[in-house]
């Protein structure tokens, strides 16, 4: 006999936990929006990471159709999270200033899932660990992602399975370097104009999507706090501008002038 309580909408979705997790630190009306927006971001980051794990698996298996479907889902989620910046931009600079001090030194620098996403996309930068205590779960997850093949490495493996001459990178813990050999292969992939070429375009879409997010974030920062320094200790917008143009797939960008 099953004597556990009947499943309900509320229990299945753990809504007591989710809806009990908004704890503003001030009485300012807008702080609720600030919290909810960030929580929604973190949920979507979780889904994107989940989906990219699947995409990497399908790429390694040479499964174009399912890798492509997974990427399409990631790209669609990315559109949603970029679009929701509009919602946060309904908050004025003075409304944000009303509770900003209550954020202390907390900042987006501490978004472990965002750093994990960057690592899956190939970022290999020990600097990010500064914000995560040694031995913490978050630090371990980011370090793990940095020591696994990146999406770019999975794409290279996929091209190999498809019969293209792509060497395995000797150390996936190192950042990708632009490669003349890979670029020559990509020209063939595009000339063949089959499934792999379609995936190339989706990966370019992914790079563009991440760049769109960074651009919209920095513009939101500029309109909300101007050139104030960040709560996380950076110069703020000036720092964020330096992060705008680091592609995950440099070779896919490098070949565009030859297509
Ligand atoms: C009023 C809204 C926001 C402002 C003023 C703002 C401001 C900033 C600033 C100044 C930084 C640099 C770190 C620092 O020194 O503090 C930063 C970083 C960051 N923020 Fe925001 N932010 C806002 C909303 C968001 C939202 C909604 C997200 C979504 C998760 C987010 C995610 C991040 C991430 C991931 C970083 C690290 C970026 C990197 O190092 O490349 N921020 N933010
Ligand atoms: N870094 C922002 C504060 C901020 O936006 C923030 C603070 C706590 C948790 C998440 C945040 N969002 C992204 O940086 C600032 O300097 O105003």
Domain membership flag for residue 3: no
Distances from the Cα of 11 to the Cα of 3, 4, 17, angstroms: 15, 12, 10
CATH number (domain holding residue 42): 1.20.58.480
Domain membership flag for residue 17: no
pLDDT digits (tens, 9 = 90+) for 175-212: 999 999 999 999 999 999 999 999 999 999 999 999 99
Stated pTM of the model? 0.97
Domain membership flag for residue 242: yes
Nearest CA to ligand 2 atom 11: 107
pLDDT digits (tens, 9 = 90+) for 73-130: 999 999 999 999 999 999 999 999 999 999 999 999 999 999 999 999 999 999 999 9
The answer on whether 123 is annotated among ligand-binding residues is no
The reply to whether ligand 1 has any atom less than 6 angstroms from the CB of 225 is yes
Task: State the distance from the centre of ligand 2 to the C-alpha of 101, rounded, in angstroms.
Answer: 10
Q: 124 phi and psi, to 5 degrees?
A: -130, 85
Domain membership flag for residue 103: yes
Task: State the distance from the centre of ligand 2 to the C-alpha of 231, rounded, in angstroms.
Answer: 6
Domain membership flag for residue 16: no
Domain extent at residue 239: 27-258
The answer on whether 38 is annotated among ligand-binding residues is yes
Number of compact structural domains in the chain? 1
């Amino acid at each position: 006999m099953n004597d556990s309580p009947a499943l309900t909408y509320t229990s299945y979705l753990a809504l007591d936990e989710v809806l009990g997790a908004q704890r503003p630190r001030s009485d300012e009306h807008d702080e609720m929006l600030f919290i909810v927006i960030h929580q929604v971001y973190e949920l979507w980051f979780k889904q994107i990471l989940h989906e990219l794990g699947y995409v990497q698996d399908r790429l390694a298996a040479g499964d174009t159709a399912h890798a492509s479907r997974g990427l399409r889902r990631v790209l669609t989620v990315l559109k949603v999270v970029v679009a929701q910046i509009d919602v946060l931009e309904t908050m004025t600079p003075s409304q944000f200033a009303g509770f900003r001090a209550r954020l202390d030194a907390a900042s987006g620098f501490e978004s472990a899932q965002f750093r994990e996403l960057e690592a899956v996309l190939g970022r290999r930068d020990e600097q990010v660990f500064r914000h995560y205590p040694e031995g913490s779960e978050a630090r371990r997850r980011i370090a793990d992602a940095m020591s696994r093949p990146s999406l770019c490495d999975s794409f290279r493996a996929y091209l190999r399975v498809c019969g293209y001459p792509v060497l395995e990178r000797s150390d996936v813990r190192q950042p990708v370097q632009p490669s003349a050999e890979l670029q020559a292969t990509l020209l063939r992939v595009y000339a063949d104009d089959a499934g792999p070429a379609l995936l190339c375009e989706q990966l370019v879409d992914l790079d563009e999507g991440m760049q769109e997010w960074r651009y919209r974030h920095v513009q939101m920062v500029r309109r909300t706090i101007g050139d104030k320094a960040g709560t996380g200790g950076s110069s703020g917008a000036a720092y964020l501008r330096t992060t705008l143009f680091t592609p995950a797939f440099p070779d896919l960008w490098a070949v565009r002038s030859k297509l």
